[in-house]
């Protein structure tokens, strides 16, 4: 997903002058890094490739990000910021809003294939313990599973979970479904509607009716 940034208004404190130019350059670097890492993977993608895409030297790029690992961390953080804008995983009191947010995110992902490629490529590479993103993905999966388990627990408390569905198991299956759909979609984008497939999966877990989401954009 080449990510879409919401530009703050000047009245909201939009950066000006040199600081604004620095932020603009950082965003350009992150967009380029996302494309390079998505296409070549983290290990094969180079700082030089990223620098060339934004028309600057390696030394100039390293002024903004001191090393390749720091650049990767910033790319992943940017992706997570967009995801959390759509999916309020911290809101324990609105599990259906969270569930709908996951469907919106799945629909949005179909408009940003670069980010989906990056995530799938890195999550596979990062299974190696020495990969710079290994700890990130371990922590991320633990956090996501915990938050989704809590979401399904709240649905159970509200009487909205199908009988026999266990929240922790439902959380694991949801993560597996989302990740698996992304891989299938990348291989054949015309044969898979990620949002609709995910909606059908959730419909087998909950008692409430879930409306088809359709394509959407970041908030």
Give domain status of residue 218, yes or no.
no
Q: How far apart are CA 64 and CA 112, in angstroms?
A: 25
Tell me if 209 is assigned to some domain: no
Confirm whether 48 is domain-assigned. yes
The Cβ of residue 33 has, within 10 Å, a number of other Cβ atoms equal to 27
Q: Within a domain: residue 131?
A: yes
Regions of the chain short of the pLDDT cut 70 = 1-19, 212-219
Provide the sign of the torsion angle of the four alpha carbons 93, 5, 37, 76, taken in this order.
negative
Q: How far is CA 56 from the centre of its chain?
A: 28
pTM score > 0.85 for this model? Answer: no
CATH of the domain at 186: 1.10.357.10
> Would residue 213 count as lying in a domain?
no
* Domain carrying residue 87: 10-203
Query: pLDDT at position 5, please?
Result: 30
Q: 206 forms bridges with which residues in the sheet? A: 161
Tell me the pLDDT tens digit for each residue of 68-120: 988 988 888 888 887 888 887 777 778 998 999 999 999 988 888 888 888 89
pLDDT at 217 (0 to 100): 44
Strands of 44-158 (E only): list them: none
Domain count, the chain: 1
Tokens of residue 44, six digits: 């094969």
Residue 172 included in any domain: yes
Q: How many C-beta neighbours within 10 Å does residue 143 have?
A: 12
């Amino acid at each position: 997903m080449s990510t879409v940034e919401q530009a703050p208004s000047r009245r909201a404190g939009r950066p000006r002058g040199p600081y604004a130019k620095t932020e603009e350059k950082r965003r350009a670097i992150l967009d380029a890094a996302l494309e390079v890492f998505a296409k070549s993977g983290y290990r094969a993608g180079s700082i030089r490739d990223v620098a060339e895409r934004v028309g600057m030297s390696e030394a100039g790029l390293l002024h903004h990000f001191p090393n390749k690992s720091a650049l990767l961390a910033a790319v992943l953080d940017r992706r997570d910021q967009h995801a959390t804008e759509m999916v309020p995983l911290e809101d324990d009191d609105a599990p259906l809003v969270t569930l709908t947010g996951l469907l919106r995110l799945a629909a949005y992902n179909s408009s940003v294939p670069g980010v989906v490629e990056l995530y799938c490529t890195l999550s596979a590479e990062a299974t190696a313990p020495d990969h710079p993103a290994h700890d990130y993905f371990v922590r991320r999966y633990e956090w996501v599973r915990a938050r989704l388990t809590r979401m399904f627990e709240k649905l159970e408390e509200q009487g909205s979970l199908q009988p026999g569905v266990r929240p922790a198991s439902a959380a694991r299956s949801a993560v597996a479904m989302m990740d698996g759909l992304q891989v299938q979609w990348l291989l054949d984008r015309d044969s898979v509607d990620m949002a609709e497939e995910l909606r059908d999966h959730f419909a087998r877990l909950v008692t409430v009716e879930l409306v088809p989401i359709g394509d959407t954009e970041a908030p």
